[in-house]
Structures are given as C-alpha cells and as structure tokens.
Amino acid sequence: MTASQVVDERYFRGIIRRNIALPLLVGLITIAVFVGLIVYLVSTTNLAEHSERVIGKANQMLRLAVERESSMRGFLITGDESFLGQYDRGGPQFKVQMEELQALVSDNPMQVEKLKQIATIQERWNRFAENMIDSRRRMQDVASVVSSGRGKMEFDAIRKEFDDFLDVELRLRQERSEASRRLTGVLVTVFLLFSIGINSLLAWMGRRELLNLAGVYDKALRQQAEQTQALERQVWLRSGQRMLAERVVGQATPQLVGTAMLDCLAQYLDAVVAALYVRDKRHGTLRRIATYGFNREGEQAAARDFGQADTLVGQAAVSRRMVVMRDVPDNYIQVVSATGKSAPKNLIIMPVASEGEVNGVVELGFMRPLAPRDEEFIELVSNSMGDFIEAALYRERLQDALIETQQLNEELQVQQEELRVSNEGLEERGRALLDTQTRLQAQQAELEQTNVQLEEYAHRLERQKAELLRAQDDLAANAERLEQSSRYKSEFLANMSHELRTPLNSSLILAKLLQQNRTGNLTEEQVRYAETIHASNSDLLVLINDILDLSKVEAGQVSVELETVSIDATLQSLEELFKPMAGAKHLSLVFDRLPGAPETIVSDGQRVTQILRNLLSNAVKFTERGEVALSVSPADDGMLRIDVRDSGIGIAADKLEMIFEAFQQADGSTSRQYGGSGLGLSISREFARLLGGRITVASELGKGSVFTLWLPLDARAALAAGGESATAAAQQATPAIATGTNGNADQALVAPVSWSDAAPSVITPANGLLAARPASAEGAGGAAQAGGAQESGLAAIADDREHRTRAGRLIVAVEDDLAFAEILRDLVHELDFDFVHASNAASGLALVRDMRPAAVLLDVGLPDRSGLTVLEWLKNDPLTRHIPIHIVSATDHADKALHLGAIGYTLKPTARSTMEAAIRRLEARLQQRLKRVLVIEDDTPMRESIRALLQSENTEIVAVATLSEALEHLGKLSFDCVVTDLALPDGTGYDLLERLAGNPEHAALPVIVYTGRMLSDEEEHRLRRYSKSIIIKGAKSPERLLDEVTLFLHSVESSLAPEQQRMLRTVRQRDNAFEGRTILLAEDDVRNIFALSHVIEPLGAKLQIARNGREALEALENGPEVDLILMDIMMPEMDGLTAMGEIRRNPRFAHLPIIALTAKAMANDRLRCLEAGADDYVSKPIDVDKLVALCRVWLRQR
C-alpha cells in the first residue's frame, strides 16, 4: 500500500482549502474593510469640502453686497454714472450665487431659511438703493436720507445674517472634521487588531494542519515499510516454491525426486540434516526414500520404516499437522563435517499431502534458531511436495505397467505367428474356391441357352400386352364415365352434408349449452330433454358421417396412415368407451389378449379402432343379456385375429352376406325391433380391405354371433403385395359361438348414460391379459371399474380396493414405479390408511373421481401423460378440487405444482422419513376442521368486503391493515393462505413476500396478491417468484379471489354458501385465453350465429359478426383489432375461401389466426381451406369442446 493510498484525498484537499482558500478569503475581507474605510474617509472629506464651498460662496455673496453698496455710495456722492457699473453687474450675480448657495445647503433647512431672510433683506435694500439712485439722478436732496442711516441699517442686517450663516457653517465644518478624525482612529485600530488576530489564527491552524499531515505521512511510510517487508517475505516464499519445482523437474523415480527436494530445502532454509518418508499404501507404513546430511553411522542408526502413529514422524502423518522441536538434546543424530560433529538444535517434522491425502513426511534439522517464515514456507510447499511425490509414484507404477505391456506384446507376437500359419491354411481353401468358380462359369453358359428360350416367351408376352392395352383403353373410358358419375355423387353428398350439418350445428351447440345448465335455471327433467336432443342429433351426425365415409371408400379417396398400433392401448380405449353402454344393459364386457398375440402391429390405428368400434357397437346393440367379448389371438402367415363375440339375437344363415351391403340389415322390415342405417358393417369391411385384411362372420340365430377381423401384422408388406395374397392365407375356421341365456329384448341402443349409472366392469390382469368382469354395485366395485386397467407391461400391485376397512382414510397413489408404489403401500398401512394404486394417469384420474379419497400421492412422470396435467384436471373439477394432493417426482416441478394447488412436493430419491412426514402433513390437513386466512388490506371497506366474500363456517378470516400487524399474527398463529395488497401504510407486499420466503416455516404458505394497480412485466416477474397467484382488482376479481382461496384451502365446494357456489360457477365459465379478446365470426346462418355467440361470449371474448366475406374484410379494415377469425366457407357475395385469400394478401393480417368452418366435410375440403390461408379446420356440426380448444390454442399464440 503506497503513501498516496494512505492519505485521504479529501482530507488533503481540506488542508489545501484551509491553508490557501481561508487566508485568501481573510485577505479579501481585509481589502473590503479597507476600501470601506477609504470610502468613509472620502465621504467625510467631501462633507468638509462642502462646508468650505458654502463658506466661500457666502463670503463671495457678502463681498458682492459690500461692493454694490460702495458703488451706490460713490454714485450718490459724485453723481458719476461710472460708479454704478459694479452695482448693475452685482445684482444678477447676487441672485445666481444665492440660488447656488441654496442648492448647496438644501440638506440643512435652518440654513435655507437664513438665506431666504438674507434674500428678503437684500430685496428691501435693493428697493432703497434704486430709490436713492433715482433721486440722485433727479438732483434731489439725498444727503438727508443717507444721514438718516436707513440704508445702513438694512445693510447691517444683511451683514449680520451672513455672519450667522457663516458661524453655522464653520461650526458644522469643525464638527465634521472632529468626527472624521475620531472615527478614523477607531477604525484603523480595529482593522489592525482584526488583521493581527486573523493572521495569528491562520498561522496557528496552518501549523497544526502541517503537523497532522506530517504525522499521516509518517504513518504511511511506516505502513509502506511493513508492506515492503511482507512483499519481500512473499517473494522469498514464492522464489523457494519456484526453485523447488525447478529442482524436481526431470527426476523420474521417487528416490530422485525426494533427494532433489531435500537438497533444495536444505539449501534454501540452511538445514543441516533432512529425511523424507513416503507412505507405503500396501503395508500402511512410512518408508524413508531420501536423506540429506546423514553420515553412515547415523543413517544405519536411524529407522528406515515407521508404523502408523509410531514416533513423531508417524504422529505428524496421523494428526496432519507440523511438529516443531526446539533445543533438541545432544543424543539426536549427529551432523558430521571434516572439522567436527554436533547435534542439530531445532527440528521441523511436516506431513505432505496430495489431494487431501497424506502421502509422506519430511524432517528437517537446523543448527540455527527457527524463524516464522521457515514454518510458513514449509507449510506452503507441503502440498506441492505431496503432488511431486504422488506424480513420481504414479510414474513408477506407469513404468511397471509399461514393462508388463512389453511382456504382453511379446506374447502377442507369438500369437501373430500362429495366426500367420492359420492364414496359409485359409489360402489353400481359397484355391479350392477358384475351382468351384470354374464350375459355376460352366453352369452360366447353360443359363444363357435358357435365356434364348425366355426371349421367345417375351415376344409372345408383347402380343398379349398389346391386347391388354386395347382392353385398358376400354376400361379407361369406362373409368372416366364412372369418375364423372362419382363426381356428381360426391357433389350431391357434399351439398347434402352442408344442408344437413348447418341446422345440426346450431341444434347441437344449443342443446349442449342447455345440457350444461351453467345458470342453473333448468330443472332436471329439462336437462334430460336437452340430453335427449343432443343424443338424437349426434345419432343423425353419425349417420351422415357413415354415408360420407362410404362414399369416400367407394370413390377411392380414403388414405391409409400406417403407424405402430398398441393392442393393449386400443383395447383399453374401447373398454372405456363401451363400459357405460354395457353397464346400462347389465352386460358383461370382456377383453382378452391371448398368449402369443403381439403387443403391437403396423397398421392405421384410426381405421382399426373404427372397425372394432362398429363391431362392438353392433354386439352391444343386439345383446340384451349375457356378455360381449373381444379376444385377440395370433394367426398363421403373419396375420392377427380379433374376434368380437356376443350372446345376442344372432343372424340367419341366408342373411350373412346381405348384412355387409350398404343400407342393408338382417331385419329390414318396417316393424324391425332394432334401428340403424346398415352402413357400419359395409364401411368396416371396406376399411379392412384397405388395411390388407378382411372380416368374416359366424352366427346362429338366437345364440349369438362372432365377427372376426383379420389384419396383417405389418400392413406395409401386405399392401405392397396387393393385399389379397395376405388375406388369402387367413384361417377359414368357423369361430365358436358364445352361448347366451338371453332372448330378444325390447330396445337396443339407448341414450348415453352417466358413468355412475352404468354397471361397472372390472379389468383384472389374468395371465398377463386384460380381462373384464361385472362388478358388484356396492363396496369397491366402482373403484375397481375405474382403476383396474393398468398400462401395458405393468402389473398392478396388491392394494385395498376390494377390502377397505378404514372409513374416510383412503390414499390413492398414482405411481408407475411398482417398487416405490409397494414402499408407499407399506408406509400408508403403517400410518393406518387404506391404499389404492394406479400406474398411469387415465386410471388414476378415474380412481380419484370415483372413490373420492382423503388424499392423493401423485407422480409427475407417468407413462401416458404428465402428472401435472392430472393435477390440473383434478383441481379444475368441482368434485375433486378439495382433495389434498402431494407430488412425488424425480424431476423438480415444485413451483408449478404448488401453483396448481398441490399441498406439497417431494423430490425423488427420498428418505422414508420424508415420505412419512409428507403423509402426516396430509393427515393433519384432513383432521383440520377450521381453515385460517390472513387478509392484509389498508382500505377498510375493501378489507371488510374481502372478509364477507371469504367467510364460511369452516374458514376463519383474520383481517389486518398493516404489515407489522400481519407479521405479528404470523408469529402467533398458523395460516393456510394469505391474501395481501401491494401498497401498505408501513411497507409493501414485496417486503411481506420476501420475509415469508426467508422463513422456513412460512416458505410454502400460499400467498395471493390482490392489488388494484396494473403491474409491469418486471414487477409481475418479481412477484411470480413468491406469489402463487396475482389478481388485479376489477369487476370479476372477487370471483377469481374466491376461486383461488378455495383452491389453496382445499375447500369442499358443496359445503360453501349458495352465493359462493354461484360465484365459483360464474368464474369457471370464463377462460383466461378468451378474456378481453375480439373474435370475428363470418357466418350467414342466423341460427349458427346465435348458437356460437352463446358459446364464445360467456368465455369472456367479444364476438363481432360479419354476414359474408366482404363484410369480414370491411370489419378487419375499419373495426377494432381482431385476435381470431371463425370463417364459414359457403356464404353469399364472397365465400370464405376467397375472403381468406384476400386476408392473407394483406401483410397486416398475414399471421392472424383463421379457423375455417364448413358443412361439406368432403375429402379435399380441409386441403382447400388450408391452401386458401386457414390455420385450422372444423367441420359442421361443430364439436363445441373441439372448437373452444382450437380457439384457445391459437389465441395463446397471439
């Protein structure tokens, strides 16, 4: 550290200011005082001069008066006019001088008054003189008048007045001169004293500052000297460290490295004797490998090896610290030279280490006293010495390995010689192969002869080809006529589809809205009417789709998308679809995958599912009692066999072929019992042919039917071969008919029933297959129905779904790791809970919705979808959002899970005690009857309104106005949720959030920020680190606040007040993605406009209407900004395709999302819409959920 760094720059500047600026300031003040004194003296002198001027002017006037009086007397005596010259000149002069004198004494009223008196007397004398002069000129007697003394009296009065005037002025002059002299002496004395005092003070202060500065510099110099010593010590240490490294470089063996290090240390530290011991890891001892200064006797006397903790050397290695010995006894090892010998006076024993592990000890002996820097240097280089020793040992081991490698290399050369001998044998075999090649060339000549014969056959084939070409031309002409007929048919079907789908669209949407009963103003019977309307319209839509599917197949417009299809996943989706229908008719539903059946095939999964859905739909439809079963089994020649059995009414033998024809049924009479269009089997057969398979049927009237679907395991190979060769190899055996006990029933297919109304089926693993059986209506049957199906390849573990014994104490674990699930099961049982397990999201979701457990343990990484998605679904369902859910996962999604409403989060791998604590927290939450919410709001009316909003029988609201009150309550009570404003009288919401985050007890406490001001992106990002939710106060904010609080309190919605339940229903109808957005609907049908407006507007969006494409363009140009367009295709004036093209040509709307709506639904409609500029496509009748989902996706991308 330098002196300039020690001296405070600001202190030094202060000294400069005080020693330069202050004297300069004092000098300026002195100058100002001196100038003021001079000015005062000048002003005093001016006053004296003023008096002198007044006296002189008065004397001049008096002399002028005397001269005039003498001039008049001379004229009166002599009568000579020349005597009057002075008299005449003196009159005007007297007046002028009188005016000047009055101006000089204008500041003295008394003197001005005297001058007026003089002027009056002078005026009287002037009249007297004029009279006398006039009388003398007329030669009258003037002597008597003069002798009377009249003129003299007047002049004497003038003289007297002038004398008084002069006396006053002389007195003023004397007074002013005396005052000036007196004040001048005082000021000069004061000025001298002030100057002497100030200069003395400045001199004293300057001397003190200089002394202080000298002290600071002296201290800086001392520090500089100390730093120089420290630097010299560091240089000495670093130089020794560098010299040690240089000495070791190039030494190969541990002995050479040790000798070099000891030689360096002895030279640098003036050591007279030294030894180095290295740890032998094999025997656990310290072995001496190098010495310095030892004589032969001393080396033989000193031990070469030490055990663990033997002697000070071993103890230093064990304790890992330096041992210093001073004043060593004389019986220690002797230091011998040519002139004598002596024992060392001091010893240092230091362990050396590499990467934290002691691998040696160095011992140094000194004849001189030890200095602190000696110990510091040895400690500094100890690790380096350990690294050098470890490197030398490593090189030694590497050398040993090299020697061993050379030995192996010699062995390898011997083996190579053996391989060379083997290679010679192989060359002999190669010559034998050449002989074989000669024989093959002879056979090739024979083949060439055969080729000549084949050319003759080719000529005959050419002739046949010409004939086939003529036949092909005829077929092409017929195909063109058929294509034209198909085109007319397609146009007719498209127009028919549009005309049917347009009214169906509004009918389905409005029926769906009535069925949801969002306002709650419909009776249960009216809701059932709406369900019936929706179901009937859906059946009509299925019929329209079947007709279109059949037309597409016949026209060859159906494409096949091959993919890997999971058999188990397909069966599970079908089981979930048909379980309610079978349950409504009390039918047993069975799914089997027999041993040997593959888990996957290559085919079109959508078409396979559609075929099986049609077959199962017919089976359930025509079966009143008994069972419907689907079995999957392997077949020969790369085929898969799928049998759909039912115990229904059966089919007569003469009707078996007819049922596959379009619009044909086994019972086609007008009095038939079962309805239907007769298209399902026709479409299924055509789809099976497209996939390279076929459908066969075996049936017995009154006993049931078996429909068999044959599919190739790899459709690519089957389609490449034309399909027929693959299906020709299918087995033709007639499947056995499942014998049922049922007769014909009155009705086949009823309106869809709810999940809980259906008689549940249970999927149980049997021999690794998926099987289904009827479940009882009581007990755990419902749960078995929901949760039995597990993901393919995962066997279910034993749980309590069939034997629940603890009422109200059920925990559902959704976990795909079966080993961890078994651990959870044992732990849950120990804590006195029932346990039910699901290994995938679908079955877990169904289990929770059906069984309503007390708590849920949920994994995030599930095979079919993320556990966070399951969490979001459960928290959005009013029936399950109150169930506490604890997340257990191997990945860290804690913030998102807690934000979605999870009660806790545990990261795998985890200790058993951690999971036990998590389950106990769930138990504590279940036993907690009263929930407590802390509300922090400084506005009293707002605070009370929040209290009234959140208050319920099971919720206690603690409302405070300040941050200090909130912290006081948090220190005394436990809370389940906190609602806070950002602006508080004694702090901010940020202060509260940061304090809660820093307190482990409150770190996981849900905090909802309820504020009235808009937040910037930076503020919102900062709040998101702490707050679970941010709500801006507004028209709909109370509903959102109530929804968020009930989520974090895990409140049962049905236990809330009716008004609170109504508010929750209202807020859930709105969607954040739609809130405040503008959607343009281009649609000419008022029924669809009415229906779609009642779908979009309740979600929070504003709907703008255009009746055709031209109005849509005008609305985009002149109206408010649009976030999404719903564009109908068939409209008057300008259709949707043209309108979309015009929109996309405008750069402003190049990225505006457009969803096309069409009722034609033909094969190329989707392609035409996308080419015109649509981003997505929905066919009429519109699926409301699909349309809302698509709108949500595209709105979120804006």
3-state secondary structure of 1192: helix
d(CA 129, CA 1017): 110
982 located within any domain: yes
Who has greater pLDDT, 544 or 254?
254
Same domain for 714 and 572 = yes
* Sequence-distant (≥ 6) Cβ neighbours of residue 250 within 8 angstroms: none
Who has greater pLDDT, 505 or 223?
223
Who has greater pLDDT, 1066 or 65?
65
Mark out the alpha helices in 1073-1176 (DSSP H runs): 1086-1096, 1109-1118, 1136-1145, 1165-1172
- Give the torsion sign (CA, 701, 704, 706, 707): positive
Same domain for 169 and 287 = no
Q: Tell me which of 368-377, 500-509, 657-666, 798-807 is least confident.
A: 657-666
Who has greater pLDDT, 497 or 717?
717
The residue type found at 786 is A
Q: Are 1191 and 1124 in contact (CB under 8 A)?
A: yes
Residue 491 confidence (pLDDT): 62
Residue 823 confidence (pLDDT): 87
Same domain for 1092 and 1041 = no
CB atoms near residue 755 (< 10 Å):
16
**Rounded mean pLDDT of the chain?**
76
Residue 707 confidence (pLDDT): 92
Residue 30 confidence (pLDDT): 77
Who has greater pLDDT, 751 or 592?
592
Give the up-direction half-sphere exposure of residue 103: CA atoms within 13 A in the CB hemisphere: 8
Single residue among 303, 336, 370 that ends a domain in this structure? 370
d(CA 16, CA 21): 7
Single residue among 370, 386, 411 that ends a domain in this structure? 370
CATH number at residue 281: 3.30.450.40
CB atoms near residue 960 (< 10 Å):
20
Q: Are 1042 and 948 in contact (CB under 8 A)?
A: no
Residue 73 confidence (pLDDT): 76
Give the mean model confidence (pLDDT) for residues 1020-1028.
67
Q: Are 1190 and 1178 in contact (CB under 8 A)?
A: yes
d(CA 1029, CA 1006): 8
Q: Are 816 and 794 in contact (CB under 8 A)?
A: yes
Closest CA to 36 of 175, 174, 178, 190: 190
- For the record, the structure tokens of 305 come out as 């090896």
Is 592 a residue whose pLDDT tops 80? yes
Q: Are strands 855-858 and 885-889 parallel, antiparallel or unpaired?
A: parallel
Report residue 1060's pLDDT band, with 50, 70 and 90 as the boundaries: low
Is 723 a residue whose pLDDT tops 50? no
1010 located within any domain: yes
Residue 646 confidence (pLDDT): 92
Same domain for 93 and 211 = yes
Q: What angle is formed at CA 701 by the lines to CA 699 and CA 703, rounded to 5 degrees?
A: 80
Report residue 399's pLDDT band, with 50, 70 and 90 as the boundaries: confident
Who has greater pLDDT, 283 or 937?
937
Is 1113 a residue whose pLDDT tops 90? yes
767 located within any domain: no
Give the mean model confidence (pLDDT) for residues 326-348.
77
Single residue among 676, 703, 728 that ends a domain in this structure? 728
Residue 755 confidence (pLDDT): 29
d(CA 709, CA 735): 12
pLDDT in tens, 1159-1170: 655 556 778 888
Torsion of CA 136, 139, 144, 147, to 10 degrees: 30
Longest dimension (CA), the chain: 201
795 DSSP assignment: P
d(CA 922, CA 853): 12
Is 493 a residue whose pLDDT tops 70? no
pLDDT in tens, 345-380: 888 888 888 887 888 889 888 888 888 888 888 888
- Map tokens 């066969």 to a residue: 696
Residue 146 confidence (pLDDT): 67
Q: Please, which residues bridge with residue 360 across strands?
A: 278, 352
The total of structural domains in the chain comes to 6
Give the mean model confidence (pLDDT) for residues 877-899.
80
757 located within any domain: no
Residue 662 confidence (pLDDT): 47
d(CA 835, CA 854): 11
The residue type found at 714 is D
Same domain for 711 and 655 = yes
- Phi and psi torsions of 856, nearest 5°: -135, 135
969 located within any domain: yes
3-state secondary structure of 858: strand
232 DSSP assignment: H
- For the record, the structure tokens of 144 come out as 């008597």
Q: Tell me which of 39-48, 152-161, 215-224, 1065-1074 is least confident.
A: 1065-1074
Who has greater pLDDT, 1146 or 280?
1146
- For the record, the structure tokens of 976 come out as 């389940």
CATH number at residue 1082: 3.40.50.2300
Same domain for 706 and 633 = yes
Closest CA to 606 of 560, 641, 571, 642: 560
Q: Tell me which of 22-36, 868-882, 959-973 is least confident.
A: 22-36
Mark out the alpha helices in 249-357 (DSSP H runs): 254-269, 296-301, 311-319
Report residue 745's pLDDT band, with 50, 70 and 90 as the boundaries: very low
Closest CA to 630 of 685, 573, 575: 575
Residue 913 confidence (pLDDT): 81
- Phi and psi torsions of 838, nearest 5°: -135, 140
- Map tokens 């008919």 to a residue: 737
d(CA 397, CA 395): 5
Give the mean model confidence (pLDDT) for residues 296-306.
65
Same domain for 943 and 825 = no
pLDDT in tens, 270-300: 888 888 888 887 777 888 888 888 877 666 6
d(CA 706, CA 697): 6
Who has greater pLDDT, 321 or 72?
321
Who has greater pLDDT, 889 or 680?
889
3-state secondary structure of 812: strand
Is 644 a residue whose pLDDT tops 90? yes
Is 165 a residue whose pLDDT tops 50? yes
Residue 1082 confidence (pLDDT): 93
3-state secondary structure of 421: helix
d(CA 619, CA 98): 149
Residue 1025 confidence (pLDDT): 67
Residue 837 confidence (pLDDT): 93
d(CA 97, CA 103): 10
Same domain for 1109 and 960 = no
Closest CA to 616 of 586, 584, 651, 591: 591
Per-residue burial over 516-530, b = 16 or more CB atoms within 10 Å of its CB, e = otherwise = eeeeeebeeeeeeeb
Rounded CA Rg of the chain: 60
484 located within any domain: no
Same domain for 1090 and 1027 = no
Report residue 640's pLDDT band, with 50, 70 and 90 as the boundaries: very high
Closest CA to 928 of 871, 1001, 854: 854
Residue 1026 confidence (pLDDT): 67
Is 715 a residue whose pLDDT tops 80? yes
- Map tokens 């300040």 to a residue: 962
3-state secondary structure of 692: coil
Q: Are 335 and 344 in contact (CB under 8 A)?
A: yes
Is 107 a residue whose pLDDT tops 80? no
Residue 1154 confidence (pLDDT): 93
- Map tokens 């417009």 to a residue: 557
Q: Tell me which of 76-80, 106-110, 800-804, 1016-1020 is least confident.
A: 1016-1020
Helix (H) or strand (E) holding 310: none
d(CA 665, CA 676): 8
Instruction: Provide the residue count of the chain.
Output: 1198
Where does residue 844 rank: exposed (0-12), middle (13-18), buried (19+ CB within 10 A)? Answer: buried
Report residue 660's pLDDT band, with 50, 70 and 90 as the boundaries: low
Residue 765 confidence (pLDDT): 30
Residue 728 confidence (pLDDT): 39
Same domain for 1041 and 982 = yes
- Phi and psi torsions of 692, nearest 5°: 80, 20
The parent domain of residue 1025 ranges over 929-1068
Residue 374 confidence (pLDDT): 82
3-state secondary structure of 343: coil
Closest CA to 1009 of 979, 1036, 986: 979
Who has greater pLDDT, 1163 or 70?
70
Is 545 a residue whose pLDDT tops 80? no
Is 741 a residue whose pLDDT tops 50? no
Same domain for 639 and 708 = yes
- Phi and psi torsions of 1130, nearest 5°: -90, 105
Residue 72 confidence (pLDDT): 76
Where does residue 533 rank: exposed (0-12), middle (13-18), buried (19+ CB within 10 A)? Answer: middle
Helix (H) or strand (E) holding 528: helix 524-555
321 located within any domain: yes
Residue 543 confidence (pLDDT): 64
First to last CA, the chain: 61
pLDDT in tens, 1125-1134: 999 988 888 9
Same domain for 942 and 896 = no
Closest CA to 643 of 572, 568, 583, 592: 592
